Amino acid sequence: MLPNARTPHIDRLRSLPKAEVHAHLEGCFEPSVLEQWAAQARVPMPRPRERLLQFEGLADFLHFLDWACGLASTRERLAELSYGFCKRLSDSGAGYADVIVNPTHWTAWHGRLPDMIDAIDAGFAAAEQDGLPSVGLCVSLLRTQSSDAAAELVDSLVALRHPRVVALSIDGNEAAAGRTGPRFADAFRRAGAAGLRRTVHAGESSGPEGVRDAIELLGADRIDHGVRAIEDSALVALLVDRQIPLGICPTSNLTLGVYASIEDHPIDRLRRAGVVVSINTDDPVLLGASLEGEYALCSQAFGWSDDDLRALARNSIDASFANAGVKAELIQALSRW
């Protein structure tokens, strides 16, 4: 009886007009597709297919991303993956997404950034022509890269000026890399000066100090994760004062061991403190997360009302890097929900 009882709730959450602002293209590989591509390339699978998405932690997860992305070696495969992302968005009731792609993971495309972005754009453009949601691309640095590599990426993005690219991002394992904000401050400053938005992974495997660096050194317009800001009341006050949104991914935080249970997760405490929070999937296929499922998980854990859900959806739209027309359409749709 329980699954049937929950179906209307999920359907209502699916119909909630919303955006997604923290999702990685690298996290959208279906196991069956990976198995097929690996067989064609004669590359061994890291684990049997039935256990392919069972990760031992963040480091194991990031190694897996490198393996999976290495199989997406053709324009057609990258376009297919991008189209599939838009289909998944539509199925979850999202009207727009900012999606992160980190070129360091995609070994077949190293040194070919314009071609890679063009292939991804082809998939998104085909999806939009078919009436699926529009997507902005956030091109990401890896936290272990050098300041010279960061400068090179920014120079490439500024020279390319591809209309699909909306932001510079940075991701990777904070705990393994240590403090990196000072190393990337100049690259983020120049990206902002060139008109790119700035979104920063912080406060996941690092503590609140990573979030503070994201704000003060990297000029973050939005922070991906940011949950461990809850450990520093002055930092929470800064996030509230500057209204810097957090793109929070509850299932990701649970699966990768940041928090032991949804009841321990600080998303509701941050929301109640006045921080702008949105709900996202991070790596939806690899972590078994859907956008409507994330809303359901939190709604049931924290007793959110329809007004709370509407406010969270509005946060996601406002925090996105969508153009004004797309935002206006989504906000109008939200008012009718």
Higher pLDDT, 24 or 5: 24
pLDDT of residue 3: 39
Which residue has 């003060």 as its token pair? 216
* pLDDT tier at 6, thresholds 50, 70, 90: very low
Residue 69 backbone phi and psi in degrees, to 5: -65, -30
pLDDT tens track for 147-160? 999 999 999 999 99
Specify the CATH number for the domain of residue 229: 3.20.20.140
60 pLDDT band, cuts 50/70/90, is: confident
Residue in the block written with tokens 């999937």: 281
pLDDT-based confidence at 87, cuts 50/70/90? very high
Q: Return the closest-CA partner of residue 266 out of 226, 314, 238.
A: 226
Written in H, E and C, the secondary structure of 114-171 is HHHHHHHHHHHHHHHHCCCCEEEEEEEEECCCCHHHHHHHHHHHHHHCCCCEEEEEEE
| DSSP letter assigned to residue 224 | E
Q: What is the pLDDT of residues 106-146, one digit of tens each?
A: 999 999 999 999 999 999 999 999 999 999 999 999 999 99
Mean pLDDT over 219-237 rounds to 98
Report the first-to-last Cα separation within the chain, whole angstroms.
27
This prediction has a pTM of: 0.94
Q: Which two tokens stand for residue 175?
A: 């705990």
Mean pLDDT for the chain overall: 94
Domain that holds residue 239: 2-335
121 and 79 Cβ atoms separated by less than 8 Å: no
> CB within 8 A of 174, min separation 6: which ones?
143, 180, 201, 202, 204, 205, 206, 210
| pLDDT given for residue 58 in this prediction | 78
Q: pLDDT tens digits, residue range 256-297?
A: 899 999 999 999 999 999 999 999 999 999 899 999 999 999
Q: pLDDT class for 206, splitting at 50, 70, 90?
A: confident
Question: What is the structure's pLDDT at 4?
Answer: 38
Retrieve residue 51's tokens.
Answer: 């256990």
**Averaged over 247-256, what is the pLDDT?**
96
**Position 66 pLDDT exceeds 90:** no
pLDDT value at residue 263: 97
Contact call for residues 127 and 87 (beta carbons, < 8 A): yes
Mean pLDDT on 195-211: 95
Encode 223-240: b = buried (16+ Cβ within 10 Å), e = exposed: bbbbbbbbebeebbebbe
Output the pLDDT for position 56. 84
199 and 247 in contact (C-beta within 8 Å)? yes
Percent helix, strand and coil across the chain, each rounded to 5?
60, 15, 25
Nearest partner of 312 among 267, 266, 255, 281, judged by Cα: 267
**Who's near 64: CB < 8 A, 6+ residues apart?**
46, 55, 286
Residue bearing the bigger pLDDT, 2 or 37: 37
Q: Give the pair of three-digit tokens for residue 305.
A: 């009302």
pLDDT of residue 173: 84
Per-residue pLDDT, 100: 98
**Of 13, 130, 115, nearest in space to 72 by CA:** 115
Share of the chain above pLDDT 90, in %: 87
Mean pLDDT of 188-205: 97
pLDDT at 7 over 80: no
Q: Determine the Cα–Cα distance for residues 103 and 125; give it in Å rounded to an integer.
A: 20
Distance, in Å, from the CA atom of 321 to the CA atom of 199, rounded to the nearest integer, reads: 10
Nearest CA to 248 among 219, 263, 228, 220?
Answer: 228
Please tell me the predicted confidence (pLDDT) of residue 208: 97
Q: How many separate domains does the chain show?
A: 1
pLDDT of residue 277: 98
Q: How many residues does the chain have?
A: 337
